[in-house]
Amino acid sequence: MCGKKMILTLFTADECLPCTEVEEAFKKRYKEEIDSGEADIVNLDENEAAQQFWIEHDLPLAPIMVVTTDNGKLISVIEAQELLEAEPVAKGSG
């Protein structure tokens, strides 16, 4: 892939209950990627560059995940709800 690194970013916001829930799931699922810099969590209420990126790409409301190249080119948009749906549910069967 021409040596380009891809980065997974979760956009969140203040006072957003779904954002908090998704952020916790994201931290659990992508711990290694966050530690290595391959994934990040960005609060749109605190980061003007992220706000500009969000506006320029007409992204849905937070929480939303995006995959970008290391130079900021948008590759994919992923509904954050998919992260919650992918989490195993601790329920007994029956």
Under CATH, which number does the domain 6-86 receive?
3.40.30.10
pLDDT tens sequence across 8-19: 999 999 998 899
Q: What is the mean pLDDT of residues 58-87?
A: 90
Q: Single out the residue of 69, 79, 70 nearest to residue 10, CA to CA.
A: 79
Domain parsing of the chain, residue ranges: 6-86
pTM listed for this prediction:
0.85
Q: Single out the residue of 18, 9, 7, 3 nearest to residue 62, CA to CA.
A: 18
Name the amino acid, one letter, at 8: L
